[in-house]
Structure 1
Amino acid sequence: MSGPLAGVRVVELGIWVAGPAAACVLADWGADVVKVEAPGGDPQRAFSATLGDTAVNPTFEASNRGKRGVVLDLRSPEGAARMRDLLARADVFVTNLRVPALERLGLAYEALAGPYPRLVYALLTAHGLDGPDRDAPGYDVGSYWSRAGIAAQLAAPGGPPPMPRGGMGDRPAGMALAAAVCAALYARERGGRGQLVTTSLLRQGAFTLASDLTSVLRTGAAMPVMTRETMPNPLVNPYRAADGSWFWLLGLESGRHWPALLAALGDPPWAAGFPTPAVRATRRAELTALLDAEFARLPRAGWAERFAAAGVWWSPVQTVEEVLADPQVRASGAILGDVVAGPCDFSADVCAPGRTAPRLGQHTDEVLAELGHGETRGTGAGGSGAGGSGSGARERGPG
C-alpha cells in the first residue's frame, strides 16, 4: 500500500455507512484495513436489492473499497479469539456498533484499553456516549439530518422537510473520525499510548449547523430561513435559464459584484432603481423577479459565455450526470475511473483508492493465516463466502 498511513493496521467492525466510511478513508490513505463481518454480512450488502440489481451495490462499494474482508462469528469462542488476535496486531480499531452490543461482545473500550494500551479505539455513535439517548439507535437521516436541525433550516417556511441523499451525514462523520484517528496516532508517537476517539452523527450535524446554532447562543435570535424572494442579497441566489437549467450567482459582496452582473445583462434600464446594496436588499423580491425575466432570455451556456466575459462569479446547478461529465471535476481528482475518490491529496504520498470492496469473507483465510492460523472453514471464524444468520455484531449502529 502507498500513502501516508502505509504500515498502519486497522480492524473495522462497522455496518452501514458511517463507520465503514471512516475506515475507507484510512484505507485510501494507505492503511491495511481488515473489515470484520458477521456470517450474515454487513446489512448494507443487501441494499443493492432495493436498486433492482444484486450484482451492483454502489453504496457498499463507496464505503468499503480497498479493504480486506474477514468473516468471524464473534459470539463463538473461536471467533472471539480470532478477533483478539487481530486486535493484538492492530494500530486502530474502528467501529460504529452501539455500545451495548460491543459490551456483550467483550469489545467495549474499557475491555480493550488494558490488554492493548497502544490501540487507538475509534468509535462513531448516533448521539454520543452520554445523555438519555446515548444508546438509542440512529441513522444520519435521524441523528444528523433531522435531530441536529439541518432539515428544518433547509425547509421552505411552512413546507415539509427536504429529503437528504444517502450517506449525507455519514460520510462527513466518517471523515471527522478518520481525522481524529490520525491525531491520536500522532499523540501515540509522542506518548506511547493509544486512546478512545469518538464522534457522533448528532455532533457532526451540530458542527455543520454551527453558524445557525451560534447565532442563537450568542444573540438569542435564530438566523431566518431564506427563500429566493426573501434573500437579502439577490446576487446570491439560484436562477433558471431559458433551457430550464439552473445556476447560482455568487455575488456575496453586492457592491463589488453588481457592476459585472449588469455588464453581463447588457446594462438594463431598470438597474438605475437599485443603486446600492441597501436598496437591493429592501427591494429584494422585485429585483429577483427582474433577474428571473432577464435570465429566461438565454440558455445556461449563453450565460456562461457572458459571465466569463464580464467576470461574474457563478456556478452551475448540476445533475449527477453533469457532475461526472464536468472536466473540472475530473481534473480535481474527484473521479478515478469508476471510483469516487476521497476529498484529500498529499503532495509527498501517492494515494490510490482501492477499486473494489471485498466479497463477504473473501480474505478470511489469508488474514488469519498471517496470524498463524490454518484453514478456517467449519470453525467459528467462518470461511470465505460463508453464509449464516449473523451474530450479535449486527446490532444496528449509526448509519
Structure 2
Amino acid sequence: MSVADPEAAPVAGRGPLAGLRVLDVTSTIVGPTATLILGEQGAEVIKVEPPEGDVMRRLGGRPREPGLSPKFLHFNRNKRSVVLDLKTGEGREVMRRLAERADVFVSNMRPRALGRLGLGWEALSALNPRLVHCTIVGFLGGGPYEGAPAYDTIIQGLSGVAGAHVEPFGEPRFAPFVLADHVTGITAAQAICAALLARAGSGRGQAIEVPMFETMAGFVLMQHLDQRTFDRDGHMGDPRIMSPDARPLRTRDGFICVSANTDAQVRAFFEATGRQDLAEDPRFSTVAARIIHVDAFFRLRAEAMLERPTAEWVEVLRRHDVPAMPCHTLQSLLEDPQLRASGVVTKEKNENGEDAMLGLRHASRYGESGVAPSRMAPRLGEHGPEILRELGYDEAEARRLLAARAGVSPEGVSPEGASSQGASPEVPAS
C-alpha cells in the first residue's frame, strides 16, 4: 500500500488507516490525542515540531531521557518527528512539500497564525486539493470568544464541566484529567475520518474546524438539559448523576461500583442484598419512580454495601446479574487482570531489547485489517533526515537544511532550557 493510493483496501496487520499520511502540527494534549488515534489505526503520522519541540516533552512529567517525558511518550506513539522552523522560508518550503504528499493536516495553532505561515486551508488546498485540513480551535469563529486562548481548565470551567460539581459537592471542581482535551481530540479524529470518507466519493478534501468550547458545551448539555429541554424554567441536571450518593460505594474493606438501572436489575439487587420486601415498594418498582426517589434509592444501596467485603459483593451481585466491579485506585488499575490479558498495558522495550517502560496500546480491534504495530514516541527530530530524503532532497541539500535549522541534527537531541511553545499566543488549545 502506498500513500498515493489511500483508498485501496487496508493491509492486514497494519490497521484500517494504513496508507494514509497525516501531518501533525499540534502540541500539548488535544491535537496529539487526535493524531495518536489516527496513528494507532495505521496512518503514517509525521509530527512537525518547532526547534524547541512540543512543550509536553518538558511539561509532561520527569523524563528518564531529556525530551521524552512520560506524558509525551504516551500521547505520541506511532509517530515520526521532524523539526521545521516555520519562521524561515526553507522550513515553510519543506512543509509545503510535505503537504503536497499528505492526506491530512492537523493543527491547533490559531487560524491567523496558520495564515501568516501559509498553512491555512486556502493555501494548502491549492497545493493539494485532496487534503483534509483540520484545525482544532478554542472557539468557533464569528462569536465574541473567537481567537481567545483556550486550555483544558479554561474550557472545563466555561463549558459547565466544573460547575456541574456544585450541586452534588457544593463547589466547582475540575475533572482530575484533561477531559476537554481528550473529548475534543477524539471528536477531531472522528471528524477527520468522516472527511476522508467524503473524499472517497468526491475526490476532494475539505476544511474542518473542531472547537473545544462548543464541543464540551454540547457534551455537558446533552447530559444535563433535563426538563429545560421542554420548559424554559425547567430543572437542569440529571438527578441520578447529581445526587451526592452517585459515587463508588464503601464496602467492609474498600469501594465498589454498582449500577442497577432496569427494573429487573433492581429486583435482583434487592434479592442479592436480602431486601426482597422492597421489590414492590412503589418508590422503587419502576424507572420513573426511582428517578423521583433517587436519593432514597441510593442511600439503600450505600447502606447495603457496608455489610460485606468488595470481592464478596462482586461475586454475589454477578450471580444475580447485577453490574458491579471493584473501584480501582490509580495503582491497582495497573494490576487489573483484564487489562493485562487484553494487552492494553504492556512492557515496552528499547532499541537494545531491554524493558524500558510501561506502554499503552490501542484498545479497539479490527478483524479485517488488524491493529498497527505499536512504536515508541520519537525523539525530537529523530526522523528528519529520512523524511527529507523521502521528499526528494539529496544528501547534500538535506545536510544543509538540517544545519540551517530547517530541521535538527540526525541525533535528534532535545535542547535543554528551550522556550515553551505552549506559552506562545499562537497555540490556542491545550
Q: Which TM-score band (shorter chain)?
A: 0.7 to 0.9
Alignment partner of 1:277 out of 265, 284, 291: 284
What's the TM-score once normalised by structure 1's chain length? 0.87
One-letter amino acid of the counterpart of residue 36, structure 1? V
One-letter amino acid of the counterpart of residue 260, structure 1? A
Structure with the bigger RCO (C-alpha within 8 Å, sep 6+) is 1
Query: 1:35 and 1:175 mapped to 2: Cα distance?
Result: 18
CA apart distance, 1:266 = 2.8
After superposition, give the CA deviation of every residue in 1:130-164 in whole Å (9 maximum; x if it has no partner).
31212111112222x22111221133457222232
After superposition, give the CA deviation of every residue in 1:294-320 in whole Å (9 maximum; x if it has no partner).
322211112112212333222332222
After superposition, give the CA deviation of every residue in 1:191-215 in whole Å (9 maximum; x if it has no partner).
1111002212113212322132475
CA apart distance, 1:185 = 1.6
Which secondary structure state, in structure 2, belongs to the residue aligned with residue 150 of structure 1? coil
Residues matched between the structures, number:
391
Q: Is the 8 A contact 1:74 1:392 kept in 2?
A: no
Q: Is the 8 A contact 1:157 1:225 kept in 2?
A: no
Query: 1:383 and 1:369 mapped to 2: Cα distance?
Result: 14
Query: 1:82 and 1:128 mapped to 2: Cα distance?
Result: 30
Any unmatched runs of 5+ in structure 1?
Answer: none
Q: Is the 8 A contact 2:76 2:377 kept in 1?
A: yes
Query: 2:291 and 2:125 mapped to 1: Cα distance?
Result: 58
Q: How does 1:201-350 map to 2 (within 5 A)?
A: 201-209=212-220, 210-213=222-225, 215-220=227-232, 221-224=234-237, 226=239, 230=243, 238-243=248-253, 245-253=254-262, 255-267=263-275, 271=278, 274=281, 276-277=283-284, 285=295, 288-332=298-342, 334-337=344-347, 338-350=358-370
Is the aligned partner of 1:166 residue 2:177? yes
One-letter amino acid of the counterpart of residue 60, structure 1? F
One-letter amino acid of the counterpart of residue 236, structure 2? M
Query: 1:151 and 1:353 mapped to 2: Cα distance?
Result: 37
Percent of aligned pairs with the same amino acid: 34
Q: How does 1:24-63 map to 2 (within 5 A)?
A: 24-48=36-60, 50-51=61-62, 57-63=69-75
After superposition, give the CA deviation of every residue in 1:339-367 in whole Å (9 maximum; x if it has no partner).
32334321101113533111111111110
CA apart distance, 1:250 = 1.1
Query: 2:251 and 2:327 mapped to 1: Cα distance?
Result: 11
Which secondary structure state, in structure 2, belongs to the residue aligned with residue 34 of structure 1? strand
Query: 1:222 and 1:281 mapped to 2: Cα distance?
Result: 13
Change (3 A) 1:139 1:252: same
Query: 2:72 and 2:187 mapped to 1: Cα distance?
Result: 19
After superposition, give the CA deviation of every residue in 1:279-302 in whole Å (9 maximum; x if it has no partner).
766665555445433322211112
Which secondary structure state, in structure 1, belongs to the residue aligned with residue 171 of structure 2? coil
Change (3 A) 1:287 1:397: closer
Is the aligned partner of 1:364 residue 2:384? yes
One-letter amino acid of the counterpart of residue 190, structure 2? A
Q: Is the 8 A contact 1:156 1:226 kept in 2?
A: no
Q: Is the 8 A contact 2:14 2:369 kept in 1?
A: yes
CA apart distance, 1:78 = 0.9
What's the TM-score once normalised by structure 2's chain length? 0.82
Q: Is the 8 A contact 1:73 1:80 kept in 2?
A: yes
Q: Is the 8 A contact 2:105 2:131 kept in 1?
A: yes
Q: Which sits farther off after the overlay, 85-94 or 271-280?
A: 271-280
> In structure 2, what is the equivalent of residue 193 of structure 1?
204
